[in-house]
Every structure is written in structure tokens, then in C-alpha cells.
Amino acid sequence: MGTFMEEITLANVRDIGNAREGLIPAAKIRAIKVEALPDTGAWTLIINEESRQKLGLAIVKTVKSTIADGSTTDYGLTEPVEIRWKDRDISLQAVVIPNGTAILLGALALEGMDLYVDPVNQRLAGVHGDQRVHLVL
């Protein structure tokens, strides 16, 4: 067992909406493919400043967050970003760790895409198999 990375696509939700409304062409949607570390200890998507700038995401507020080394600091929280993994997607705000090196795919993203971390086979897998189940509470 150990850590593993998964390729995900991140896209600017505002751009997606603007393309849907015909305000920008779909080719202008800012999106990036990144290697992300699935991390059930992280509550949401964690990105670095470089990724935030590439995606053109605005910081909407700051949140106090504790990182793995135990330090607590105020970090920026972005406007929503679309996270895509294979045929699944979810839109969430991201916490920006300015000098972070890893993109972390946290618990909210995993739950929202009906995924779990399979540490034995070092992969993500669907909780309900290949069919995504949307949970309604």
C-alpha cells in the first residue's frame, strides 16, 4: 500500500457557463490536466497558485486550514472549479496553497463523484461500480 496519483481535468466553471451562454467559444474554456493525489484527509480540492492562475480562478474568501505538518494558516478559497475524472465530474471550491507542490483530490470531490480510494490496488474506483450514483439527502 502507498500513495498514487490520478489524472484529472480541472476547468473554470465561470468559463463553462459563459461558453454555454454563447459569450465565449468552448475552445476558450480554461482547463488543465493534472496529476492529483487522492487524499481522504483533505476536505476539498487543494491546488497551488500556478494552477489557480492557469485556470483564471478568483479567490472569493480566505479560510483557516491546517495542513499535514500541523500548521494552521489562512488560505484562499476559489470560485468553483469543475473536476473531471473519466466520465465523472463535480464542481467545488478549491483551497489554494501558494507554494504547494501536489494537487490533492479531497473527500468532498471523491464522495461527490461516488469514488473511493482502493489502497491495495492503488487506484480510484466507483463505490457503486462503473455506474455513478448521485446521492440525494
- Taking the domains of the chain in order of start, what are their residue ranges? 6-126
Q: What burial class does residue 27 get, using C-beta atoms within 10 Å of its C-beta: 0-12 exposed, 13-18 middle, 19+ buried?
A: exposed
Q: Where does 6-126 sit in CATH, by number?
A: 2.40.70.10
Instruction: Give the pTM.
Output: 0.90
Residue 121 sits at φ, ψ, to 5 deg, of -95, 0
Asked whether 74 and 119 are in contact (CB, 8 A), the reply is no
Residue linked to cell 470531490: 109
**What's the pLDDT score for residue 69?**
77
The distance from CA 117 to its chain's CA centroid, rounded to whole angstroms, is 15
Cα–Cα distance measured from residue 99 to residue 29, given in angstroms and rounded to the nearest whole number: 25
With a cut of 90, say whether residue 12 has pLDDT above it. Answer: yes
**What's the pLDDT score for residue 132?**
63
Q: Tell me: the pLDDT tens digits for 31-55?
A: 999 999 999 999 999 999 999 999 9
**What's the pLDDT score for residue 3?**
87
Q: Tell me: the pLDDT tens digits for 55-112?
A: 999 999 998 888 777 888 899 999 999 999 999 999 999 999 998 889 999 999 999 9
Cα–Cα distance measured from residue 8 to residue 19, given in angstroms and rounded to the nearest whole number: 21
